[in-house]
Amino acid sequence: MQRREVSSRVFLMTTESNDLTPTGLGEHVVDAAEFEPDLSAADWAAKFRVDDVRLTPIHLAPFEVLSPVKTIGRGRTNLTLIRPTILQTDAATPFASFDRRESPNRNPAVSVHFNASAYGVTWTGTYVFAFAVDAPTRAAFTPSGFAGSGTVDAPGSIRFAGRRVITVILRSVPPNQDVFAAIEQTSGESWSWFSTSIGRPPIVIDTVAGG
C-alpha cells in the first residue's frame, strides 16, 4: 500500500465583497489580503474540519467590508470607532488612526456589528472578522466579540509591529442574532485601521500526493 502524504493546502476565498459600494475618485479601500495573516493554512485546517463548512452554503466573497468610507452595511451591520486621533476619509487610502498615549482613560478600539439575516442568511453559521491594521511601532491588542448563543474564538492578546490582520471568529451564530467583533489597544504607540471584512471561514483543501 502506498503512503499518501499531504503536500500543500489551498485557500478558496476572495476578499472582494459583493456588497461594496463605489468610493470617491482615486480612493483605495485596503482589504485583509494586503496584510500579513495572523493565521496560517495549518492554523485554519486545525480550527475547521471539512464538516464544519460543507453543511452550509459556500460564500467565497465576504458578506461585507467596512472601512472609513463605508461605515454601515445591511440591517444593523455597522462600525464603531472609539477614541480615534485621526479619521481621514479623503486620502488615497482612507484610514483611522489611534494612539493609546493620547487616550489614557479609555483604550482605543474598533468594533464591528453584524447581522447575518440582513444578507439573506437563514442558517446557523460561523463568521470570520478580519481587521486590517498597521502598527509602525509595536502595539498590543485584545481581540473580543459576542456571538449570542454561539462562541467566540480569538486570541487573548496579540502584540506586533507592522501591517497585520487580527482575526476574530464567531462560531455557531443564529441568523437573527446581532453580533460583534472588536479589537482594543492595550499598550503601545500609534496605529491605523483600514478595513474589516466579515465572511465565512476560508476553505482549506489538502492536496494529496502518493509516496
Tell me the C-alpha to C-alpha distance, in Å, between residue 141 and each of 30, 135, 164, 175: 20, 11, 12, 29
Which has the closest alpha carbon to 189: 129, 141, 143, 132?
141
Is 39 among the domain residues?
A: yes
Is 172 among the domain residues?
A: yes
Give 31: exposed, middle or buried? Use CB within 10 Å, 0-12, 13-18, 19+: buried
CA 146 to chain centre: 14
pLDDT given at position 171: 92
Helical (H) or strand (E) element with 139: strand 125-146
Residue 156 has pLDDT above 50, yes or no: yes
Residue 162 has pLDDT above 60, yes or no: yes
pLDDT given at position 1: 44
Is 122 among the domain residues?
A: yes
Cell of 8: 500543500
* pTM assigned to the model: 0.79
Is 5 among the domain residues?
A: no
pLDDT given at position 201: 84
pLDDT tens-place string over residues 33-87: 676 666 666 665 666 655 555 445 555 689 999 999 999 999 999 999 999 999 9
**For residues 113-130, average pLDDT:** 94
Cell of 151: 462562541
Distance CA 120, CA 25 (A): 31
The total of structural domains in the chain comes to: 1
Is 1 among the domain residues?
A: no
Residue 205 has pLDDT above 90, yes or no: no
Q: In CATH, what number is assigned to the domain containing residue 151?
A: 2.60.120.260
Domain coverage including residue 90: 11-18+28-204
Higher local confidence (pLDDT), 14 or 173: 173
pLDDT given at position 20: 43
Cell of 68: 472609513
Which has the closest alpha carbon to 193: 133, 130, 147?
133
pLDDT given at position 78: 98
Is 4 among the domain residues?
A: no
pLDDT given at position 48: 63
Which has the closest alpha carbon to 125: 153, 150, 154, 155?
150
pLDDT given at position 104: 84
pLDDT given at position 29: 56
Please, what is the average pLDDT of the chain?
81
Is 104 among the domain residues?
A: yes
Alpha helices, DSSP H only, in the chain?
41-47, 50-54
For the chain, what percent of residues have pLDDT higher than 70?
67
Confidence of residue 151 (pLDDT cuts 50, 70, 90): very high
For the chain, what percent of residues have pLDDT higher than 90?
59
Is 115 among the domain residues?
A: yes
How many other C-beta atoms are found inside a 10 Å radius of the C-beta of residue 169?
Answer: 23
